[in-house]
Amino acid sequence: MSFKNFFAQSIRGWLPEEPKMPKSKLRKTLPPIAVFVAATTIFSLFSSSVFVPNQTVVVMPPPLAVSSAVNTSFVELGGFTETPNDFILVLSDGNHIFSDNLKLTFFLDEGRGGKCTVTLAVECDEFSREASVEGCVVNGNLVIDSKRSLFLINPDVNPGNIVLTETDGWKLDACVSSKTRKLSTAIDPYEVNSVFISSDTSRTEKGWPLKVDLGYDHNTGFLVFSGYSLSDVLLEKVGIDLLLGGSLKLVSFSKHFNIDVVEASPPSLLSYVPYFLLPSLVILSVVVYLLHRKWKRRQTGAHNLLEFRDNTGQSCEVGD
């Protein structure tokens, strides 16, 4: 006999013992609930530190406003991709160039009577070309060789369906969805208020697949964003039939432009709610599943006990 048992028997009866009462349903339920709440809280805090992106505050300058002559305006667009060789340049001679980056600069020198000189420079890892052509601005739209260019449009377009550009046997139908949409620039977290125009998938004059998502500065009408693909009369002047893949975003612009560049607002705390709810829902689902299995086992045991009593001729009352 152990000393503990010997000591317990020696003092038995000397001290009053508290009666052992059966636990109520509430007392039986509280410990599992407490464990569940504690486990959910700990797991949510851990998962939030792992899955919620760290918000590192880095002060970056906005897209650069560069001084230029009064009659000269320009925008520089930079192309960025997340996967290697995502940009595809389909050249007029039939060759293809794959690149990780792309820089496109558009200059406009205004003359008299709406006439102008337009210069386009395109650079990437294996391609660099520049061309200057004469054009004119008609009702706010840039026209080159009797064809409207996508690099400058009249920003006073109304939301709805429009013909973005056309020739005798071809046209590009598009939709003006918003005149005040914020589009990302090449420098995070800055955005530019833009007129947003998009098209369904169609074909260029030479049969290449074309789908445009274009953003224009809502004050000047200059192109400040391009996604998916781009085909234009100016690109043809530098030997490019189609730009495909990636996106072109605003890098710099003429200082006398009234381009509306704003800093994007940080995400609210509500955007992180799913990160906290997910682990709680997972744990709750597991607890409900285990409780359901336990209940099923009890039901099966009670059913088997009743069948056993029926077979042995005993009373089937539960109180027996």
Which residue, among 287, 286, 276, has the nearest Cα to 44 in the 3D structure?
Answer: 276
Backbone angle region of 94, left / alpha / beta, with phi > 0 → left and psi within -120 to 50 → alpha: left
Q: What integer is the mean pLDDT of 152-164?
A: 93
Residue that wins the pLDDT comparison between 114 and 267: 114
Length of the chain: 320
Residue that wins the pLDDT comparison between 77 and 275: 77
Per-residue pLDDT, 164: 94
Residue that wins the pLDDT comparison between 179 and 190: 190
Residue that wins the pLDDT comparison between 48 and 127: 127
pLDDT at residue 225 is higher than 50? yes
Per-residue pLDDT, 55: 44
- Domain-by-domain residue ranges, the chain? 64-260
Read off the pLDDT band of 63 (50, 70, 90): confident
pLDDT at residue 187 is higher than 60? yes
Residue that wins the pLDDT comparison between 81 and 66: 66
DSSP strand pairing (240-254 vs 223-230): antiparallel
pLDDT at residue 214 is higher than 90? yes
Residue that wins the pLDDT comparison between 45 and 110: 110
DSSP letter for each residue of the chain: --HHHHHHHHHTTTSPPPP-PPPPHHHHHHHHHHHHHHHHHHHHHHHHHHHSPP------PPSEEE---TTEEEEEEEEE-SSTT-EEEEETTS-EEEESEEEEEEEEEE-GGGEEEEEEEEEETTEEEEEEEEEEEETTEEEETTEE-TTB--S-PPSEEEEEEE-SS-EEEEEEEEEEEEEE-SSTTEEEEEEEEE--SEE-TTS-EE-EEEEEETTT-BEEEEEEEE--HHHHHTTEEEEEEEEEEEEEEETTS---EEEPPPPPGGGGHHHHHHHHHHHHHHHHHHHHHHHHHHHHHHHHHHHHHHHHT----TT-
pTM of the complete model: 0.66
The per-residue pLDDT for range 238-289, each reduced to its tens digit, is 999 999 988 999 999 988 877 878 887 665 545 445 555 666 666 667 666 6
Q: What integer is the mean pLDDT of 113-118?
A: 92
Residue that wins the pLDDT comparison between 272 and 86: 86
Q: What integer is the mean pLDDT of 96-109?
A: 93
Read off the pLDDT band of 180 (50, 70, 90): confident
The per-residue pLDDT for range 10-53, each reduced to its tens digit, is 555 554 555 555 555 445 554 555 555 555 555 555 554 444 44
